[in-house]
Amino acid sequence: MRIFTSLYDRALLWSQHSHAPWYLAGLSFAESSFFPVPPDVMLAPMVLATPKRGLWLGLLTTIMSVLGGIAGWSIGYFGFEAAEGMLQAAGYMDEYARVSEWFGRWGFLAVLLAGFSPVPYKIFTIAAGSLAMPLPLFVVASAIGRGARFFLVSLLIMSGGEHAAEKLRAHIETIGWTTVVLAVGVYLWVR
């Protein structure tokens, strides 16, 4: 079944739309506080479609992700009781407990490393607020961690160019199905 190739082609097509930066900005903001899809899925094809704008797109993604992180922090700080039910319903309470423990141990570093963690970033943002992490410290850690991730994605795509796009398209089914199998494996292992 070849579903990832058509999804990849569609993402490349969408990434060339005139409103694509607005969609990327909205996705980056939402993912940091409540939405489950990471912005990388839109950032990578957009950089591939317009490599000269790669650094600007990485910056846009970082800024909007940090602003979304502030929204997540606010949810945790001002309304954790309401957010707790949503975390429970989404099956994120185990991750929340783990992230809370990480905050107890590492604080600033927990948020800094969250940009590369398999745990959804929104869990870190809500936990940071609920545990009353100082907002300026949270913003700095988020900017560094998320910026490192999104600029890395942009730079890797920019350096690979069309050749990387052809290689990626040729192997997208294998990559897609491997990712699904790994995600299911990680989910079962965590459970």
Tell whether the torsion through CA atoms of 125, 127, 129 and 132 is positive or negative. Answer: negative
In terms of pLDDT, which residue wins out, 103 or 30? 30
pLDDT(118) > 90? no
Q: Is the pLDDT of residue 35 over 70?
A: yes
Q: Given a cut of 80, is residue 190 above it in pLDDT? A: no
The pLDDT, as a whole number, for residue 130 is: 87
Confidence of residue 64 (pLDDT cuts 50, 70, 90): very high
Q: DSSP strand E in the chain: where?
A: none
122 pLDDT above the threshold of 90: no
Count of CB atoms situated within 10 Å of the CB of 166? 11
| Gyration radius (Cα) of the chain, Å | 17
Lowest mean pLDDT among 44-53, 91-100, 166-175: 166-175
pLDDT for res 164: 67
| Strand, helix or coil for residue 116 | coil
Better-scored residue on pLDDT, 60 or 32? 60
Q: Are 126 and 93 in contact (CB under 8 A)?
A: no
pLDDT band at 184 (very low <50, low <70, confident <90, very high): low
Q: What is the mean pLDDT of residues 79-104?
A: 81
> Which residue do the tokens 């190739």 mark?
5
Both tokens of 102, joined, read 């990480």
Q: What is residue 182's predicted lDDT score, i.e. its pLDDT?
A: 62
Decide which of 135 and 49 is more confident: 135
Average pLDDT of the chain? 82
CB 141 within 8 A of CB 112: yes
Structure-model confidence comparison of residues 110 and 25, the more confident one: 25
pLDDT given at position 108: 82
Task: Please state the domain extents for the chain.
Answer: 4-190
**Residue with more model confidence, 84 or 132:** 132
Alpha-carbon span 92 to 146, nearest angstrom: 21
pLDDT at 72 over 80: yes
CA–CA separation, 50 and 75 (whole Å)? 35
